C-alpha cells in the first residue's frame, strides 16, 4: 500500500461528471501482411488479458479514509480484479472511416472511470478501412501523466518489425524488462566518493552563492500583477472571457491530425524558436481564426497553460512530474510574426522563473503560482475568472518507426482533458517523422471543433510565409466588370424594332418635329375627333425572334 501525493489527489478532487479527469490515447495500426485480422486481434486480446502480477497502477484501486477524497488516499491491490472488464473489444459501423472512429473515441472519453476498480480501460477497435485497427486506452490522471504513458508504450512496442512480445505490457515482468533495457541504453554512472562530493558542493557554494530560490521567482511573479512585467504571463491575470472559458458539459468531441515533424521544426527554427514555440503558434493562429468565425475574438490575447515535464529520463515510477508555464498566445496580433515573438517572449520569461530551481522547488513554486487557478476551480468561478484559455501540451514520443507484434504504428494521437474555463485541449506527441495532434473539446460549448484541423494548417502556412519558407500567393488585380455582350446587343436591337413598327403604321421614319408643329399637333389632339363607319386597319408589327437556349442563358 502506498500513499498518494497531494499533487496527484487534486485530479480526484477536481473531477465531476462534467469533467472526467482521465487522459488517453488513440493508436492507429496497419495489420501485418498475410495475417487474418480476427485471429491477430484475438491473440493481442489474450496477451493483454493477463491477470497475474501487474505493475502500478493497473492492479491497484483507491483506498480512502473517512474523509473520502478530501482525506488521505492510498493505493491498494485489487483482490477482485476482472481483466475482462478492463480489456474490451469494439467494432466500428460501416463504412469504417476515421469519422466513425473519432465518434467512438469521443463517446468512450466522455464516461467516468469506476473508482471501485483500477482506474483504466483499454479498447481494441476493429472494422477500419485499409486493413487497419486501433487501440484506445484511458487512465486516470492521478495515476499517470503524459511522460509516464510514453514509458508504458515503449515497453509495449518495439522498433523491430519481426519482434514478438508475448507478455502483457501491464505485467510486472514487462515493467522490470523495460527498466533493465532503459538502464542498459544509458551510460553507467560512476558514484563519486564522499570527499569528492564535498569538494564539488563547496565549489558551487562559492561560485553561485546559493541557487535561484522561490522568493526571487515569486517577486518576479508579483510584478506581473502590478503591471511591471510585460513579458511573463500569469494565470487569471488579463485572461479574456471567450467561448473557450465557459462551463462545459460531459459531452466530448475528439479530432486528430498529423503534420510533418521537419516541416514544423523548420518553421520554428526560421523564427529562432523551439519546436514547442512553433506548436503554440499553430494553435494560436487556429484559435484566432475560430473565434473570428464565431465573431468572438477578444481584444486581449488568449493564454495557454503549457505543461513541462520534471521527470528524469530514467524515472518510470512517478505518477505525475510536471510543472506549468502560462504562455501568452498573442492572438491580439494580426501579423503571425508578431504573434510568434509574443509567444517566444512569454515562454522564455516562464522558463527563466524555473531556471536554477531543484525539482522540489519547482513543485512548490508551481503550487503557489497556480493558487488562483485552484481557487477559481473550488469556487466554481472558472467561467467568470478564467485562469487561461486553453491547454497546449507537447509530449516527446518515439522518434523512430514502432511496431506492435508486427503491426505498424501509423498514428499516436493523445486524448486529454478539457475543463471548466478551458473547453478545448490541444496535445501533440512526436512520433517517427510526424507530429500527431489530438484535440478534445466540449461538443456543446465549442461546436464544429473539427474546423480546427483546417485552421491549424492555414496557420502553419501563414507562419511559413512570414518566415520566408513559402512564397505568398500573388494578389489578383481588381478590374471593373464589363457588361455582358448579350445585354449590349439587346440594347442595340430595341430602337430598331421601335422604328420598324413606326414605318409599318405611318410609312415613314419618325423625325423630330419643330416647336411650331408640336403646338399644332397638340391643338389637333385636343379637338374632338370625327368618327367614320370605316374600321381602322390594325397595326402591323415586326414579328419578334424566338430566343434560343444559348441566347436565353446569355441574357440570364
Fill in the DSSP letter of residue 54.
B
Count other C-beta atoms under 10 Å from residue 295's C-beta: 6
Dist. CA 228–CA 219, nearest whole Å: 11
Q: Is 432 left (phi over 0), alpha (psi -120 to 50) or beta?
A: left
Q: Which DSSP state fits 407?
A: E
Q: What per-residue string of b and e applies to 333-348 under the rule 16 or more CB within 10 Å gives b?
A: beebeebbbbbbbbbe
Is 81 within 8 Å of 118 (Cβ atoms)? Answer: yes
Q: ∠ at Cα 450 (445, 455), nearest 5°? A: 105
Cell of 139: 487512465
Report whether the peptide linkage leading into residue 149 is cis, meaning its omega lies within 30 degrees of zero.
no
Chain centroid to CA 453? 7
How far, rounded to the nearest angstrom, does the alpha carbon of residue 92 sit from its chain's CA centroid? 24
Is 141 a residue of the active site? Answer: yes
Tell me the three state secondary structure of residue 321: coil
CA distance 469 to 266: 8
> Three-class SS of residue 438?
strand
Q: Of residues 109, 141, 151, 431, which has the active-site annotation? A: 141
CA angle 311, 312, 315 (to 5 degrees): 85
Structural contact between residues 413 and 26, judged by C-beta atoms closer than 8 angstroms: yes
Residue 48, C-alpha cell as written in the block: 493483454
Give the angle 442-374-256 at the CA atoms, nearest 5°: 30
Q: How far apart are alpha carbons 526 and 516 in whole angstroms?
A: 16
* Residue 303: strand, helix, or coil: strand
**Phi/psi class of residue 106: alpha, beta or left (left: φ > 0; alpha: ψ in -120 to 50)?**
alpha
Secondary element (H or E) of residue 64: strand 60-65
Cα 240 from Cα 303, distance rounded (Å) = 8
Which of 295, 304, 320 shows the shortest CA–CA distance to 425?
304
Among left, alpha and beta (phi > 0; psi -120 to 50; other), residue 210 is: left
> Which residues, 6 or more positions from 128, have their beta carbon under 8 angstroms from its beta carbon?
28, 92, 96, 101, 134
Inter-residue contact 210 to 385 (CB < 8 Å): no
Residues known to be catalytic: 141
Amino acid at each position: 500500500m502506498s500513499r498518494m501525493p497531494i499533487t496527484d489527489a487534486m485530479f480526484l478532487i477536481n473531477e465531476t461528471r462534467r469533467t472526467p479527469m482521465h487522459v488517453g490515447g488513440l493508436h492507429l495500426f496497419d495489420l501485418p501482411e498475410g495475417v487474418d485480422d480476427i485471429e491477430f486481434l484475438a491473440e493481442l486480446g489474450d496477451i493483454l488479458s493477463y491477470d497475474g502480477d501487474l505493475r502500478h497502477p493497473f492492479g491497484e484501486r483507491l483506498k480512502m479514509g473517512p474523509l473520502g477524497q478530501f482525506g488521505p488516499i492510498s493505493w491498494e491491490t485489487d483482490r477482485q480484479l476482472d481483466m475482462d472488464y478492463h480489456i474490451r473489444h469494439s467494432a466500428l459501423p460501416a463504412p469504417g472511416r476515421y469519422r466513425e472512429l473519432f465518434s467512438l473515441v469521443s463517446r468512450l472519453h466522455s464516461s467516468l472511470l469506476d473508482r471501485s476498480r483500477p482506474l483504466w480501460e483499454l479498447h481494441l477497435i476493429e472494422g477500419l478501412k485499409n486493413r487497419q485497427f486501433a487501440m484506445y486506452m484511458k487512465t486516470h490522471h492521478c495515476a499517470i501523466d503524459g511522460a509516464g504513458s510514453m514509458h508504458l508504450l515503449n515497453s509495449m512496442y518495439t522498433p523491430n518489425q519481426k519482434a514478438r512480445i508475448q507478455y502483457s505490457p501491464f505485467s510486472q515482468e514487462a515493467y522490470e524488462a523495460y527498466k533493465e533495457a532503459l538502464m542498459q541504453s544509458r551510460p553507467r554512472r560512476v558514484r563519486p566518493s564522499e570527499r569528492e562530493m564535498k569538494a564539488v558542493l563547496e565549489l558551487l557554494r562559492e561560485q553561485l552563492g546559493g541557487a535561484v530560490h522561490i522568493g526571487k521567482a515569486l517577486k518576479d511573479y508579483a510584478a506581473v500583477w502590478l503591471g511591471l512585467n510585460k513579458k511573463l504571463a500569469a494565470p487569471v491575470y488579463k485572461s479574456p472571457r471567450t467561448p473557450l472559458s465557459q462551463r462545459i458539459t460531459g459531452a466530448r468531441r475528439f479530432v486528430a491530425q498529423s503534420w510533418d515533424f521537419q516541416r514544423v521544426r523548420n518553421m520554428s527554427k526560421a523564427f529562432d524558436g523551439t519546436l514547442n514555440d512553433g506548436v503554440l503558434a499553430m494553435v494560436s493562429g487556429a484559435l484566432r481564426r475560430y473565434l473570428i468565425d464565431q465573431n468572438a475574438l477578444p481584444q486581449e490575447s488568449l493564454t495557454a497553460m503549457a505543461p513541462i515535464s520534471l521527470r528524469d529520463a530514467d524515472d518510470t515510477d512517478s505518477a505525475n512530474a510536471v510543472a506549468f508555464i502560462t504562455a501568452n498566445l498573442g492572438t491580439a496580433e494580426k501579423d503571425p510574426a508578431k504573434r510568434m515573438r509574443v509567444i517566444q517572449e512569454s515562454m522564455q520569461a516562464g522558463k527563466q522563473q524555473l531556471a536554477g530551481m531543484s525539482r522540489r522547488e519547482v513543485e512548490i513554486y508551481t503550487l503557489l503560482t497556480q493558487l488562483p487557478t485552484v481557487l477559481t476551480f473550488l469556487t466554481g468561478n472558472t467561467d467568470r475568472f478564467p485562469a487561461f484559455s486553453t491547454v497546449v501540451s507537447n509530449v516527446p514520443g518515439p522518434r523512430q518507426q514502432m511496431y506492435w507484434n508486427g503491426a505498424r504504428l501509423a498514428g499516436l494521437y493523445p486524448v486529454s482533458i478539457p475543463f471548466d474555463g478551458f473547453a478545448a485541449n490541444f496535445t501533440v506527441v512526436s512520433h517517427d517523422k510526424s507530429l500527431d495532434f489530438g484535440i478534445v473539446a466540449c461538443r456543446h460549448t465549442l461546436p464544429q471543433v473539427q474546423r480546427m484541423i483546417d485552421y491549424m494548417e492555414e496557420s502553419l502556412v501563414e507562419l511559413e510565409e512570414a518566415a520566408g519558407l513559402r512564397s505568398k500567393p500573388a494578389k489578383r488585380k481588381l478590374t471593373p466588370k464589363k457588361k455582358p455582350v448579350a445585354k449590349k446587343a439587346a440594347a442595340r436591337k430595341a430602337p430598331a424594332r421601335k422604328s420598324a413598327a413606326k414605318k409599318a403604321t405611318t410609312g415613314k421614319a419618325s423625325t423630330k418635329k419643330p416647336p411650331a408643329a408640336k403646338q399644332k399637333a397638340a391643338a389637333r389632339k385636343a379637338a374632338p375627333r370625327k368618327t367614320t363607319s370605316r374600321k381602322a386597319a390594325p397595326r402591323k408589327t415586326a414579328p419578334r425572334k424566338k430566343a434560343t437556349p444559348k441566347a436565353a442563358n446569355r441574357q440570364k
